[in-house]
Chain A
Amino acid sequence: MAKDKLLDFDKALELFEPVLGFEVHVELNTKTKMFCGCANAFGEGANTNTCPTCLGLPGGLPQVNRKAIESSIRLGLALGCEIAENCRFARKNYFYPDTSKNFQTSQYDEPIAFDGSLTLELESGREVTVLIERAHMEEDAGKLTHMGGATGRIQGADYSLVDFNRGGVPLVEIVTKIIEGAEADAPEIGRAYVSAVRDIVRALGVSNARMEEGNIRCDANVSLRRRGETKLGTRTETKNVNSLRSVERAVRYEIQRQAAILEAGGSITQETRHWHEDSGTTSAGRPKSDADDYRYFPEPDLVPVAPSRDWVEELRASLPEPPAERNARLRDAWGFTKLEFQDVVNGELLDIVEQTVAAGASPADARKWWTGELTRIANAQGVGVATLVAPTDVAQLSALVASGDLTDRLARQALEGVVAGEGSPAEVVEKRGLKVVSDDGALIAAIDEALAAQPDVLEKIKDGKVQAAGAVIGAVMKAMKGQADAARVRELVLERAAQ
């Protein structure tokens, strides 16, 4: 693949104004598909969850999943949207093997939700409000696997295999209005926007919200407008951008790529582009079809959806605290830096840290254990961190350290025991005999022994070489099998030298 020429980012911004737009697809976590009773499940055997309706066989008749409508309305409300009093599904006609019906059931000119907004706070503190054009319901397509060829990509494939388990799974597609004035923040705005949508979806519980599993997928539209001009430039739509970091990188890449072409006197082709995570580049996909080419028409097999205002208000009342507000409230209460807080959010640990704090741990301790040692163990074992221990276990552990019963090192050992199912932290400490030796008599005996082995140490300390105490402290800690408070040992050694 020929390498794209890129213009320096700062130079690109000097010459052009980036204009953005995002389409985010959210896969809902309903039990069944959008229009049939097949299970909406991830990672099962190929083509095990299909029926005449989602395979598009003759006689199949779609039936709308009430829960999917409810989730769509809740998501629309959380994005500050109006909810349509009446809307319809439409057929989007296209011929591609990821749908065997030759159309996708979607919504066209009558989305269920429209005219919303989402305010983002950037690292710099700058606030940007992104206007939401619409959020509409549609169904996912089947999964294609390209076989043969060298790369496993579409290019060079000999044939493709289709698994329709994902075909018909409910999606909500959220479309922004064009975002102007992003300037050098454009890549960060992309990331912050998708992150905000993810947080909302997660708080609502309407999706599993794992980008790496494709539950949230982002298409990034980027165009450049030469400074001083008013007409929008030609845009490209970069698909397959499936992590927050990729959104940022893809927007930056497209700005630099388009700027280089325009600066060399070329023009941008309106097309979809594919994002390649490994190389951090985009490559041309198909030329973008006009909406006309999809020959949208109202789905004759489905009747209109007209959510009553009572239902909408009932759902509005069920909305959780908006994630942005909750985040601001908790960050403030916990006194975390933005980075520390983001660590917790990105690790999906917000709820569990909150529960741990409620169980009595300090916010700093709760964060340290969950994002540190526990996340490390979870990654090593390939399990979810929340399944390892209970928030109350972490709170108890944290209390044992605070009271001086455990050192950090002993606490990690105790935690291992809790993870291994040996009981609560206190029980593990008891069973494994992990308690810090706080009996000064035992410590002094060990110190005397160490001093006898290293007779010159006391003289050195008396001469002001306090660091000489290190060798004795090390020997005592070793003799105590680490179950001593090093700071207390140091105190005792220095006291001894002062005698």
Chain B
Amino acid sequence: MSEISTDLVRHLAGLARIDLSEAELESLTGELAKIVDSIAKVSEVATPDVVATSHPIPLQNVFRDDEVRPSLTVEQALSGAPEREGDRFKVAAILDEEQ
């Protein structure tokens, strides 16, 4: 059985700044537990001689030269902003998160 508890889901929701109701917490706890249990089956076939894979393609050292490329215009950059002030993105006060 997985170790996913309602408290853990609440903690994760807090970190992700997602406001969940008690009912949603309950159902997500069950769903996440199932997902974790399913993925845990993989470790049953993974033996110590199988190295954890982060990238399926055997590529490394893919670099870009240090040359400036055109950026977006300020208008383009801000076109998706919910709110702006001047040329900057405007966001809610972040007092709560900082304390």
Contacts and interface: CB of A to CB of B under 8 A. Distances in A.
**Which secondary structure characterizes the binding site on chain A?**
loop
A47 B61 contact: no
Interface string A53-73: 001010000011111110000
Contact of A37 (B68, B91, B95): B68
Interface in A297-355: 298, 300, 302-307
B15 interface: yes
A52 interface: yes
Given A55-B77, A298-B54, A38 B88 contact: no
Given A38-B68, A50-B72, A163-B88, A306 B95 contact: no
A47 B60 contact: no
A50 to B, nearest CB: 5
A300 B54 contact: yes
A171 to B, nearest CB: 15
B71 to A, nearest CB: 5
A94 B16 CA distance: 7
Interface string A139-172: 0000011111000001111111111100000000
A32 B67 contact: yes
Contacts of A286: 97-99
Interface in B37-69: 54-55, 57, 59-69
A97 interface: yes
B94 A96 contact: yes
B69 A37 contact: yes
A49 interface: yes
A65 B63 contact: yes
A157 B93 contact: yes
B75 to A, nearest CB: 10
**Which secondary structure characterizes the binding site on chain B?**
loop
A391 B50 CA distance: 63
B24 interface: no
A42 to B, nearest CB: 14
A119 interface: no
Contacts of A86: 60
B68 A306 contact: no
Contacts of A49: 71
A276 interface: no
A360 interface: no
A58 to B, nearest CB: 10
Given A64-B63, A66-B65, A154-B95, A159 B87 contact: no
Contacts of B61: 303-307
A293 interface: yes
B72 A63 contact: no
B74 interface: yes
Given A37-B64, A37-B68, A161-B86, 13 more contacts: A30-B66, A31-B68, A37-B67, A47-B78, A51-B71, A63-B62, A144-B94, A156-B95, A159-B92, A160-B90, A162-B88, A162-B90, A300-B54
Interface of A: 30-32, 36-39, 45-52, 55, 57, 63-69, 86, 88, 93-97, 100, 144-148, 154-164, 284-286, 293, 295, 298, 300, 302-307
By Cβ-Cβ distance, the 7 closest A-B pairs, closest first, are A37-B69, A298-B54, A67-B66, A66-B63, A161-B88, A63-B64, A162-B89
12 contacts: A31-B68, A46-B87, A47-B74, A51-B71, A65-B64, A147-B85, A159-B90, A160-B90, A164-B77, A298-B54, A300-B54, A303-B60
